[in-house]
Amino acid sequence: MAKLPISVQLYTLRDAVSKDFAGTLKKLSQIGYKAGELAGYGDLKTAAETRKAFDANGMVVSGMHVGLDAFKKDTNAVIADAKTLGCQNVILPYIDPNTLGTHAEWRTFAATCQNFGKLVTDAGLTFAYHNHDFEFRKYENEYAMDIFLQHSDPKAVKIELDLYWVSKGGLDPVAYLKQLGNRVVLVHLKDKTADGKFAPVGTGTLDFKALTDTAAGLGVRYGVVEQDDCYGKDPFECVATSFENLKKIGVV
């Protein structure tokens, strides 16, 4: 069975990276993580400094989250930073759902991502969009996510599928992952409690054996552990629990 490489989204450790990015990576490497996904540089200033911190801890940058404004300002600068970081996957993590309220607006957004994606792809990298649950609202009887996918080129626009948010949106994440197939290059791994809260992998309601087996079979590049809110618990303990539970089901 193919293995699914595991990374960790540093947004989960956002308070720690804002004070000591390199020290945060050291702790994550001690847990067992060999890759991290960026959501900014924390207390570091540049891509070069950040790459140095990853190298020093024997870790790689599996992906980088880049806001819409940065793409609009200078996509070529984003690409240059990704290359400095040795990062293949450049991800748009969010769009304000209040700006997209119609079928036409989702089509326009897809075209915008298509433009970014072509620049990134032409540079030899991969552009992906990361979903939340609002992409599973319907416009003219179609999910926003499906409008987005249908009106963007699969070669230029890939998906980082957040499995928690797919479930939160009311869909079966295993079935939807299979439906999207090789359009998905990355998946976010976080569990969902019975009352819909974020939880470490293996402590909630999602079937991570089925999810990780499916992702690995599709050739997904990384499963990225994330927990948006740890509800007062130590985020390092949360991501350590996720890592250990992924070990128990044979993923790492």
Averaged pLDDT of the chain: 97
Residue 153 lies in a domain: yes
* Angle, alpha carbons 143-207-235 (nearest 5°): 95
Q: What is the pLDDT of residues 1-25, one digit of tens each?
A: 578 999 999 999 999 999 999 999 9
In angstroms, the CA 15 to CA 28 distance is 14
| CATH number of the domain where residue 111 is located | 3.20.20.150
7-to-15, 38, 66, 224 alpha-carbon distances in Å:
18, 10, 17, 5
Could you identify the residue written with the tokens 């974020």?
198
Is residue 46 situated within a structural domain?
yes
Residue 81: CA count within 13 A, CB half-sphere: 21
Spans of the chain below 70 pLDDT: 1
Domain that holds residue 50: 30-194+211-248
Residue 34 lies in a domain: yes
Q: Is residue 88 part of a domain?
A: yes
The answer to whether 24 and 13 have CB atoms below 8 angstroms apart is: yes
147-194 pLDDT, tens digit per residue, is: 999 999 999 999 999 999 999 999 999 999 999 999 999 999 999 999
What's the pLDDT at 3?
Answer: 87
Which pTM value belongs to this model?
A: 0.97
- The tally of domains found in the chain comes to 1
Q: What is residue 129's predicted lDDT score, i.e. its pLDDT?
A: 98
- 18 domain residue, yes or no: no
DSSP 84-142: HHT--EEEE----GGG--SHHHHHHHHHHHHHHHHHHHHTT-EEEEE--SGGGSEETTE
